[in-house]
């Protein structure tokens, strides 16, 4: 559904958020399997200098990358290389959380794996060549080695859960996607430097900026209603 009243209503919701200073700036995109249904950009990329946030402004991807990870997992399931209810022990036997956690539970944030904050592994582009992802993951798993609840009992967001799904970055332990199909799921993203936030004067790497918060559920769900989309997963 993409009739004009729906587009106008969705745009009004987002413009209201910017106008009332609930958020400094927003990029919001609704897509179908074939085309862009709705696109909105508004507010400021730089509040002090009054630089507008546009559709070409680069923002930190952060957890948007979970969408790519989930899509890669589902492609492997479609190709019958994985099953949703496979336990992760079949692919990674070095995690500390015991038997029984499934791929479905990692994808849906129902595994019970904790979500430590702040995220100690977030680092700047100029630090990336020195960043040892495997060592960092091992340290995080050692420090946060106990489940918050029994797998499948409820929903609770977990960055570590998706980290266990994702591909490896070094010659080390293989995580699920890369271990099952190391050559199939490689993603390369092109971008240019029109980022937000305070620039790092030591480097001109593209995409250096900050990301905003995810929209509050009530606003996101209101937009879902505009386009008759499924609401976010809840348990």
One domain, residues 79 and 176: yes
Q: What percent of the chain has pLDDT over 70?
A: 74
Task: Give residue-wise pLDDT tens across range 122-142.
Answer: 877 788 889 888 888 899 999
Indicate the Cα dihedral angle 165, 234, 99, 78, nearest 10°: -50
Q: Which residue has the higher pLDDT, 193 or 178?
A: 178
One domain, residues 71 and 157: yes
**Rg for the chain (alpha carbons), in Å?**
20
**Range with the poorest average pLDDT among 5-9, 50-54, 161-165, 172-176:** 172-176
**Mean of per-residue pLDDT scores for the chain:** 77
Q: What percent of the chain has pLDDT over 90?
A: 27
Domain, as residue range, for 53? 4-58+191-226
User: Has residue 46 been placed in a domain?
Assistant: yes
Alpha helices, H only, the chain: 4-19, 65-78, 103-107, 133-143, 159-165, 176-180, 217-226
Task: Quickly count helices (H) and strands (E) in the chain.
Answer: 7, 3
The per-residue pLDDT for 6 is: 84
User: Has residue 205 been placed in a domain?
Assistant: yes
Q: Kindly state the tokens that stand for 118.
A: 């702040």
- For residue 209, the cross-strand partners are none
Q: Residue 208: is its pLDDT beyond 70?
A: no
The per-residue pLDDT for 37 is: 87
Q: Check if the beta carbon of residue 207 is closer than 8 Å to that of residue 60.
A: yes
Integer Cα distance of 116 and 122 in angstroms:
12
Q: Residue 232: is its pLDDT beyond 70?
A: no
Provide the pLDDT confidence category of residue 167 given band limits of 50, 70 and 90: low
pLDDT average, residue stretch 166-193:
47
User: Has residue 43 been placed in a domain?
Assistant: yes
User: Has residue 154 been placed in a domain?
Assistant: yes
The per-residue pLDDT for 124 is: 77
One domain, residues 166 and 69: yes
The per-residue pLDDT for 176 is: 59
One domain, residues 33 and 123: no
User: Has residue 231 been placed in a domain?
Assistant: no
The per-residue pLDDT for 206 is: 34
Q: Residue 3: is its pLDDT beyond 90?
A: no
The per-residue pLDDT for 230 is: 58
Q: Residue 188: is its pLDDT beyond 70?
A: no
Q: Check if the beta carbon of residue 49 is closer than 8 Å to that of residue 55.
A: no
User: Has residue 186 been placed in a domain?
Assistant: no
Q: Residue 109: is its pLDDT beyond 50?
A: yes
The per-residue pLDDT for 103 is: 94
Provide the pLDDT confidence category of residue 198 given band limits of 50, 70 and 90: very low
Report how many domains make up the chain.
2
One domain, residues 13 and 91: no
Give pTM, 2 decimals: 0.68
Integer Cα distance of 226 and 213 in angstroms:
21
Task: Give residue-wise pLDDT tens across range 50-77.
Answer: 899 999 998 877 888 888 889 888 888 8
Q: Residue 191: is its pLDDT beyond 70?
A: no
């Amino acid at each position: 559904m993409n009739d004009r009243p729906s587009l106008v209503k969705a745009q009004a919701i987002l413009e209201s958020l910017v106008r009332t200073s609930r958020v400094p700036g927003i990029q919001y995109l609704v897509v179908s399997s074939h085309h862009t249904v709705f696109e909105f950009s508004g507010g400021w990329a730089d509040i002090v200098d009054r630089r507008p946030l546009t559709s070409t402004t680069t923002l930190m991807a952060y957890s948007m990358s979970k969408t790519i990870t989930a899509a890669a997992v589902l492609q492997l399931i479609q190709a019958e290389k994985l099953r949703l209810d496979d336990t992760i022990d079949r692919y990674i036997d070095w995690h500390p959380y015991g038997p029984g956690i499934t791929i479905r539970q990692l994808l849906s944030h129902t595994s019970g794996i904790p979500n430590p904050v702040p995220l100690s592994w977030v680092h700047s582009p100029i630090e990336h060549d020195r960043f040892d992802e495997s060592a960092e993951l091992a340290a995080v798993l050692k420090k946060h080695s106990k489940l918050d609840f029994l797998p499948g009992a409820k929903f609770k967001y977990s960055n570590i859960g998706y980290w266990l799904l994702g591909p490896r970055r070094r010659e080390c332990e293989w995580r699920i996607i890369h271990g099952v199909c190391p050559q199939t799921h490689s993603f390369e993203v092109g971008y240019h430097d029109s980022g937000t936030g305070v620039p790092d004067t030591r480097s001109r790497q593209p995409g250096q900026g900050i990301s905003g918060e995810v929209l509050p559920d009530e606003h996101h769900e209101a937009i879902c209603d505009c386009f008759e989309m499924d609401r976010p997963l809840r348990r």
